[in-house]
Amino acid sequence: MIKMLKMFFGFCNKKRKRQFYLAIVLTIIMGICEATKLPAIWYLFKNIFEGTFSLTVVLHSFLIMLIPLMISMVCRYASTMLQCDGGYGSTCEKRIEIAEHLRYVPMGYFNNNSLGYITSVTTNSMEQLSDIATRVVMLVTTGLINTIIVVIVLFFFDYRIGLVALGGVLIFMAFNTIIKSMGKKFAPKKEKADLGILSNTLDYVLGISEVKSYNLYGKYSKRLDDANEYGRKVYQKVELSMIPVQTIQTYITRLIGVAMTIVAILLCIKGENDLATTMTVIIGSYVIYASLDAMGTFNALSKIVERCVTRANEILAIPTMNISGEQYKTKSSDIEFKNVSFSYDKKTIIDNVSLKIKSNSKVAFVGPSGSGKTTICHLMARFWDVQKGSVLLDGKDVKDYNIDSLMENFTFVFQNVYLFNDSIVNNLRMAKENASEEEINNALKLACCDFVYDLPKGVNTIIGEGGSTLSGGELQRLSIARAILKDSKIVILDEATANVDPENEEKLMEAIDHLTKNKTVIMIAHRLKTVRDCDNIFVIDEGKIVQSGKHDKLMEEDGIYKRFVLDRKDAVSWKI
């Protein structure tokens, strides 16, 4: 339990730690105030049994309890507010911290790790931590502190009863340690079950189009069913294993009270304690029972807190790229690769590539799927760090740039577009936060996004998660409008017109040509009309540049590019 509290406090930042430490101080004051009930009860019983009971005695007893009660109420309110703010604030800040951390993790990490795991940590784990941590920390610490203070007070009444109470609490804590060790034993299987259910559910839902198209219901439904069945078995085994020991723990708390009551009565019969002390001790046993019972109930949830904190820290421990470079404003957008090699794990993707791209030029990367075209473009913007060689922007290694200043130079328009579940205008303003209405309308017009004004709320229309309410072509055009707003020096188009209908493609290309003047334009393309007017075309095959030059020059060579063009012409000439 102490380990859990220490782990959680270490998870919080300085501000949140101060909130929790202050809450604990208030909890100690609350415990002292609660413990004053026992002297007040003793005073009342003593006067009753000695025949000196009067209204004055009642008022004295009432005042002894009232003042601490008022202090306790104020402290409880303040402590609860501090712990709620600290708990919910910490998880909120950790979500942001994890998102910021992942921003600087090499993209290769996401290829080698399950999307389900990251999603599980950032959603389920953080949600559990947000809901459970505050209550666990508050109630466990309150229960522990109240128990300690009551035990100390009992020593003042009779050290023997105090020893019985202390022994019972130690037995309770020892048994609680056993429960926690059992929880740790089951934790890996439970995490595996959680991840399996989440991963297979995501896989099924996100791939539902393919599942329907290829009639894969049986195969993918079985995967999901198997994951759910494995989860059921694990969860059931955990519950059936934990319930007996948790039940024993509950009875231990009751037996502590029984033992205290028996000892108190025996001492009273022997005449070693008066009746007032005996009754007070018996009531004190119930106070200890209530504190331990609450602590035991919520202490079982401390395993969840530990697991959530551990999983979040695992993501935060993922090595990031060195981002502490220089805040550098480029004078040109010259790009140079010097003997660059790059691998995913052991598979070589880029093999000793050297190239130069001049400022304000238009170049294209052409080649078979998987040849390394997109990877080369990602290396320019330092989505990954190269293993060998160097990538230069304006004569300076991209590793020497502050990552944010580096990204200011690049605008990407990907083939697979993702827009957030927000309004169109907010999605566009991700590129330029203070963009005016005129700038937004101009960008939409140049990107052929006239469809926006036919939507129910125009640019304020919410487009759903991933832009689910729009067609592929509409999404692509909105992403180009966003790129237009960013207005960076280098524009990388990854099959930017792939999902645009023929009626709008020509206008869209004209808009891109107009808006990319005095910019470096890099295209990843398969269409002849997209690349034939480029200043330079790089032909990539198996991670190497096998040809380069303008269209006419490459057509004179007997190579991949010429075969690529002729194959496309043959494909276009086919008619039904």
Task: Spell out the SS3 assignment of 275-288.
Answer: HHHHHHHHHHHHHH
**Whole-angstrom distance, CA of residue 478 vs CA of residue 480:** 5
Q: What is the model's pLDDT at position 544? A: 93
| 8 A C-beta contact, residue 321 and residue 148 | no
Tens of pLDDT, residue by residue, the chain (576 residues): 667 777 777 788 888 888 888 888 888 888 888 788 888 888 787 888 777 767 777 787 788 788 888 888 898 889 888 888 887 888 888 888 888 888 888 766 665 455 667 777 877 778 777 777 767 777 777 777 888 888 888 888 888 888 988 888 888 888 777 777 776 777 777 777 877 787 777 777 766 666 565 565 666 677 778 888 888 888 888 778 777 877 787 788 788 888 888 888 888 888 888 888 888 888 888 888 777 776 766 665 677 777 788 888 888 888 888 777 788 888 899 999 999 999 877 788 999 999 999 998 989 999 888 888 989 998 998 888 898 999 999 999 999 988 888 888 998 887 777 788 888 999 889 888 888 888 999 888 888 888 888 888 888 988 876 677 787 778 878 888 888 888 888 998 877 665 556 666 666 676 677 667 778 989 887 666 678 888 999 999 999 999 999 988 999 988 888 888 887 665 544 444
Between strands 335-344 and 347-357, the pairing is antiparallel
Closest C-alpha among 525, 422, 412, 413 to residue 470:
422
* DSSP-assigned beta bridge partners for residue 536: 363
Closest C-alpha among 197, 116, 117, 546 to residue 372:
546
Neighbours of 422 (CB within 10 A): 15
CATH 1.20.1560.10 placement within the chain: 2-316
The separation between CA 546 and the C-alpha centre of its own chain, rounded to angstroms, equals: 43
CA distances, 97 to each of 106, 109, 313 (Å): 16, 17, 11
CATH 3.40.50.300 placement within the chain: 335-573
Q: What is the model's pLDDT at position 575? A: 45
- Residue 297, burial from CB neighbour count under 10 angstroms (0-12, 13-18, 19+): middle
Q: What is the model's pLDDT at position 576? A: 43
DSSP calls for 500-568: S-HHHHHHHHHHHHHHTTTSEEEEE---HHHHTT-SEEEEEETTEEEEEE-HHHHHHS-SHHHHHHHHH
Q: What is the model's pLDDT at position 215? A: 62
Q: Which residues contact 96 (CB under 8 A, 6 or more apart)?
A: none
Q: What is the model's pLDDT at position 454? A: 86
**Whole-angstrom distance, CA of residue 260 vs CA of residue 45:** 18
**HSE (side-chain half, CA atoms, 13 Å) at 60:** 14
**Whole-angstrom distance, CA of residue 470 vs CA of residue 463:** 7
Q: Which CATH number applies to 335-573: 2.60.40.10, 3.40.50.300, 3.30.70.330, 1.10.260.40?
A: 3.40.50.300
**Whole-angstrom distance, CA of residue 576 vs CA of residue 570:** 14
**Whole-angstrom distance, CA of residue 61 vs CA of residue 41:** 7
| 8 A C-beta contact, residue 391 and residue 439 | no
CATH-assigned architecture of domain 2-316: Up-down Bundle (1.20)
Which residue is listed with tokens 């330079």? 536
Tokens (6 digits) for 361: 């030029």
Instruction: Give the pTM.
Output: 0.62
Q: In what order do the strands lie in the sheet with 388-393?
A: 347-357, 335-344, 388-393, 396-397
Q: What is the model's pLDDT at position 569? A: 65
3-class DSSP state of 350: strand
3-class DSSP state of 539: strand
Tokens (6 digits) for 523: 């295209």
**Whole-angstrom distance, CA of residue 327 vs CA of residue 66:** 62
**Whole-angstrom distance, CA of residue 118 vs CA of residue 195:** 10
Which amino acid is residue 539, in one-letter code?
V
CA distances, 210 to each of 115, 206, 214, 415, 465 (Å): 18, 9, 6, 19, 19
